[in-house]
Every structure is written in structure tokens, then in C-alpha cells.
Chain A
Amino acid sequence: MTAPAPAPHISPQDAPLLAVESLDVILGRGWRATQVLSGVDLAIGPGEIVGLVGETGSGKTTLARTVAGLVSPAGGRVVFEGTTISALRRGARRAERRRGHLQLVFQDPLRSLDPDMTVAGIVGEGVRLQGETDGSEIRRRVVAALGQVGLDDSLLPRTPAQISGGQRQRVAIARALATEPRLLICDEPVSALDASNRNYILRLLDQLRTSLGLSIVIISHDLSSLAGIADRIVVLYRGRIVEDGPVDQVFAAPRHPYTALLMASAPSVRHDRELSPQQLTRTVAEAVALPEDLLAGLGGPDACVFAPRCAFAAAPCATQPPLVPAGERRSVACHRHDEWMTLARERAAARTSDRNGDRSRGRTTEGQLA
């Protein structure tokens, strides 16, 4: 094993807590094997909240599971606190896990909490696995962890079915906190909750970062729910990171068309978006109009992952662009990251003059090429 290479965006003095280096993950075997992650590079600094965004099948959950060690990578490695945890096996891995410094909070607490155990048993499990046998000490740490998520000890004798959804998610977080972690990976922590509970959980995570100095990765399919909390946004598309940067900058000026599409697609109470999703994806008519060889290139195996949907794909996009720095602390994987915004504005202008009073907003498609 080589020494951990300096990861992008993190200056040498603050060494990353977690470094994911050119991670490849293949799920399934034989003819069913699919490459879920390709060359993912990611570094999480201490005390940082990173929002990992992507749609179904983008590999965001697989990334979390690989980092946690539930999936073995086909290539690349995961370095946590200086240890290459992806290379650990059996006893060594168990010992590393028992330190409890890296915790994964699963998406659905109803499935990740044992329905037959009480809250006391669930939250105390990690503490007990650390070798703590003193009942009162376990209880003290359980109550402390519950306190950190705003729950009191009246919940201790209840089972997951006997508490509300918001409370369940908090119990899942408390279980992770009981082992005093350094890094918390939350897989869709709020997608099953209503707006009020969602904000509560997000605010709670933000407080935990401040009070405990935790690093937190929040996985979400909903960009706007990350707006109030994340420091950095990492956008994943079909197993590749397409954009990575500070939250304010990404939201102010997305550099990848997919990020822009995600933002444009988020439902809004006000209809004041500069770009609509239709202006960022290619319609069937446009796809059909493309030259044959370009179309073949964009649909090819080496093409940019977003090319089949992208309205701005051109000849260079027949090869996958690498994730390159684009501005301070930002990186993007797009050949045309300097040009597409201008093209999008032109498209928008053309549409508006085209349409002229016609209210129907253009036909959408599943966005797939053959």
C-alpha cells in the first residue's frame, strides 16, 4: 500500500478524515455484473458536512455501503483516519468497526432497527459490542446518546413500532452516536419524513457537527433539502462524480448540466426559474436530428455518462471527461463546462420566441436514447 495521496480540495495541513481513492465497484457476478461506481475520488475533511446527491441508480447508496465496508471494491481504496479500511478483513475489520469511529445511518429506520429490540437494546448494542459489560455504564451512554438527539429515557422500553417515524430516525442516529463516531454517513436520512421532521433532523445533524466536531455525509436525492445544511455538494451520476464544490457556489452557478437539471427539476412554489428541465435535456426530435456518427458516439460505451440526456453533448462528449478542477475548491466532469450555460440561455431564448403564448411547455421524454 502506498501512502495516502493528497486528496483534491483538502489542503495538506488538514488531512482528510476519509479519503476515497479511484474507487470502482462492481455488483453482481458473471453476466449480471454491473459497474456501479467508476473511479470515484472523494475526501471528507474533519467537521465537514458533505451532501452527496444523485438519482436512483447513481450509486450513492453503494458508495456509502462501500465506505462502510458492506461492499468490497473492485478497485481503489478507502482510507479512514490513515487506515486503509477497504483492505481489512475478518478480525482486523471487526476490531476497526468496534472502535465505532465510522457509522452508517441507514435510509429506513424501520428496516435498520431490529423490530424485536427495545430502544435501550438498539442504542446500547454498539456500546456492548465495544466490550462494555457494566449495565449502568451502558445505560448512561445510551441515555446520553438519546439526549444528543433530543429524546428522553421514557423511550427506552419501547420497540421501533411503538415510536413515531421522526423518533425512529433519531433513534437510528442515537445508535450511531453512542459509539462516539468521527464520521457519520447518513443514507437518505430525511426522505421518508414530512417537512417539519425533515428540518428537525437536518438541524440536529448540523448541531451535532458543531457540538461533537463530527464529519457528516448526507446522501439525498433532493438537492434543496441540502441547501440549509451542507458545506459541500458532490453530485453523482451513473457511478461517477460529475460535480464537486462548495454549496453556495454550486447552487449559484452549477458547472455541470446535470446539476443544473437537478436544480431545475426541484419543485418550486414560485415559477421563477431561469431554465426549465426541458431546456437542459434533449428531446426525441432533437436526438433524431443529430448526425448519425455523433449519435453513435454519444451512445457508445466510452461516452460521457450524461451524454444520452444532455442537450449540449457534442463530438468531444463521446469520451468520458475526467473530474478536473474548475475554480477554487471546485471540480467538474464536463467537456463543455465553460460553454453549456451560454448554449442553454440561447436555447431558452429560442424556445420563448418559438412558443409565443403557447402555454404547453414542450414534450418531455424519458430522456433516453436507444
Chain B
Amino acid sequence: MTIDNLKSPDLAAPHPATADRPATAGRPATAPSAASTTDLLRLDDLHISVHHGAATAVRGISLGIRPGEIVGLVGESGSGKTLTCRAALGVLPDGCIIDRGSITFAGRDLTTLSRRGWEDVHGSHMGAVFQDPASYLNPSITVGHQLAEVLRVKLGLSRRAARQRSVELFTAVGLHQPEHVFHQIPAELSGGMLQRVMIAIAISCDPELLVADEATTALDVTIQAEVIELLRRLRAERGLAVLFVSHDLAVVAELCDRVVVFYAGEVVESGPAAEIIERPRHPYTQALLRVASVGDFRRRELEVISGQPPQVGEDITGCRFAARCPAAADACRSGPIAPVTVDAQHEVRCVRAQEAWAAGELAAR
């Protein structure tokens, strides 16, 4: 099932990330220590403004993804998580500008990349799937043809070879009867099958990174579970790193090695998924966990986070969550809050992160 020589010779040119990329076997579930591996994708102090610079929507995001790692970005709508991943993909919507910061992918600076450079990065090194697969596919052309076309253009395969490889890829993403699916147009396929087709296209040129922006949001839970399983398997088989964006903490917790929690354009907490779920330090993460459908079916009090998040572009001195925070103190509003490392790889942007209340709050849960 593995498609090992997908890469054409010219694209197989070594670049830093491939060196330490796991060849075939899945990497261990625990994230490797920071020192041992370099990040595949690295965002540093990223600032993005919307409405042609009128409002800053993303304020100093820093995060990294190692080869073969699944990182989840979670947050409410308007928290900047989608903008961040669009910036990494180089497909920011009109009027959005990267004001400051760097995006490095396998040693390349993406913020200054030319059109040509992006053409090389897209597909060959970075794939993407979005929420609504139907709108990314031509409705009148068979999905097989659309995948084969990518293979022919990007890898220079012959018609016959592209066809064969398409069927292999459809098999790899778990599509039943791939030969049959090859000849179907998007309207004949269900949402889950279309998302598998999109994933097949995204991984067709064997990228190192897959960006999945709300890729499972519109799917039925049973199909969502299957797509999550598929992403997990692709990571195991191909060492594919995944940047998974979702507003659903439970989905992120289910799939990801590491979770990055966004709030109002900032990262408020990041760390290993199990750590974030079991020992959330930021009051916002704790609140998110309380309101999220954590996947149990017990009857429980339906909690809400009181208040509204700040508007996009609103400048706030101190912590951006302070207005809604049950534990806000004067120190929270006096000046900018720097991220604190509480544990290995667990960072929290909260002045009270170390205090006992965080643990106590948790115990009360």
C-alpha cells in the first residue's frame, strides 16, 4: 500500500527536514524533545492584520511543528487560528497582511517566497484540506481525473502512470472500490468520500506537512472518526506532519500530539495534548474544557463562558482574557503577559499559572 517512489528525482532533492524524517515506521506517540529535532514548520512572532492593516487579528504567534507530529490549533471563531494556518499556506484572504514575524518551512522563509517558490512548496511539500471539499473540486470532472492531473503536472507522470498512482492513492486514503471512484464526479460522492479524495490530492506529491483547516467539521461524527483514523494512519505510514485546525477541543484531543490554544489572536496555552487535557493551566483552556462536549454522555450542567471575546483589533493592556476570567487579578491588567513555561513544553500565557488555584480549580472539576 505504501507508495514509496512517488517523488520524482528533481523533487527528491534533499532539504533539511527530510534528513531526520522517519522513513517508514510511525514515530513514537510521545513527542521528541525539542533539542533532538528541528521544526518542519516554524512560526515566530507572527502578526497578521486584516482589513488592509486596520485591525491586528493575530498578535505574535509562535509555534513549531516537527516532522511527523500532529499539532492541533484550537480556539473560538475569530481567535486567529485559521488566519495563522492560511498564512503558513501562503493563502491569506484579501486585505490580510503579515505585519511582522517569520514563517520558516524546512529552512525556507515563506514570508518572502515568490509565486514560483510557492508553486514548489504547495503540493510537493505542503498539502491542505479544508472544511468544504466540494468547493475545491471541479463538479463536472471525475475526481480521478482531477487527481491524475495533479500527478501529471507536479510529478510529470505519464497518463497511464498517473492513473495507476491515483488508484493507489485512493486505496491509501481508504476509499472503497478506488477504480470505481476514479470515474465518479464529486456530486456522486458523499461528504466523507470527498474529504478522502481531497486528502488523496493533498498527499499525492508526498508532502511533509498536511494542513487541515476544520477538515472534519462538516462531517458526520462516524465519518469524522474515520477521517481522524485516516490522518493517524497516514502519519504512521508516511511520517506526515499535520497541522490540524478545529474549534472542537475534543476532536483535537482525540487526534493531536500537541495542542495550541488560541484566544483573541494569541496563543494562551500550548503543550502535549494529554497534559493540556489533564492539567490545563490557563483559565481559558479550563473553561473550554468545561463547555466542550468532552465525549462523555453523562448528564451535566451546561456551562457557558460569560462575556464576549474582545473584538478583532481591540487593544487591551494585559491579558486579553482578563475580562472573562474568574481569577483575574490586578497583575493581569497592568501590562503585557509573557508566556511562562510550567513544564517541559507546556507554556501558558497567564500570570497566575503557577498558583495553587489552578490546581484547586482542577480538583473541583
Query: Which residues of A are in contact with B by a Cβ distance under 8 Å?
Result: 55-57, 164-165, 194-200, 202-203, 206, 221-225, 227-229, 247-248, 251, 261-271, 277-278, 284, 359-361, 363-368, 370
Contacts and interface: CB of A to CB of B under 8 A. Distances in A.
28 contacts: A194-B247, A195-B248, A195-B292, A198-B291, A199-B303, A200-B302, A221-B220, A222-B221, A224-B294, A224-B295, A225-B293, A227-B293, A228-B300, A261-B222, A265-B222, A265-B224, A267-B228, A269-B253, A270-B294, A277-B222, A359-B29, A359-B236, A360-B233, A361-B233, A364-B226, A364-B229, A364-B230, A366-B192
B297 A263 contact: yes
Contact of B293 (A55, A224, A360, A370): A224
Interface stretch (B89-97, B155-163, B169-177, B205-213): B169-177
B302 A202 contact: yes
A270 B232 CA distance: 17
Given A263-B297, A267-B295, A269-B294, A229 B302 contact: yes
A307 to B, nearest CB: 16
Contacts of B48: none
Contact of A365 (B174, B233, B254): B174
Contact of A222 (B249, B293, B304): B293
Interface residues of B, number: 53
B236 A360 contact: yes
Contacts of B177: 370
B176 A270 contact: no
B277 interface: yes
Contact of B277 (A228, A269, A360, A361): A269
A56 B308 CA distance: 32
A39 B273 CA distance: 45
B339 interface: no
Contacts of A277: 222, 225-226, 229
Contacts, number: 146
B233 A195 contact: no
A222 B308 CA distance: 25
A255 to B, nearest CB: 15
Contacts of A164: 308
B312 interface: no
Given A267-B295, A268-B295, A364-B226, A284 B304 contact: no
B284 to A, nearest CB: 11
B344 to A, nearest CB: 21
Contacts of B10: none
Contacts of A195: 247-249, 288, 291-293
A223 B297 contact: yes
B76 A266 contact: no
A366 B303 CA distance: 35
Contacts of A247: 299
A207 to B, nearest CB: 11
B305 A196 contact: yes
Interface string B51-78: 0000000000000000000000000110
A199 B304 contact: yes
B206 to A, nearest CB: 19
B191 interface: yes
B176 to A, nearest CB: 5
Contact of A360 (B26, B226, B228, B251): B26
A56 B253 CA distance: 24
Nearest to A225: B293
A94 B347 CA distance: 60
B250 interface: yes
A334 B29 CA distance: 39
A267 B248 contact: yes
Nearest to B77: A194
A314 to B, nearest CB: 22
Contacts of A266: 221, 225, 250, 293, 295
Given A195-B292, A366-B175, A251 B76 contact: no
A269 B254 contact: yes
B302 A203 contact: yes
Contacts of B228: 267
Contacts of B250: 266-269
A359 B26 contact: yes
Contacts of B292: 195, 269
B244 to A, nearest CB: 12
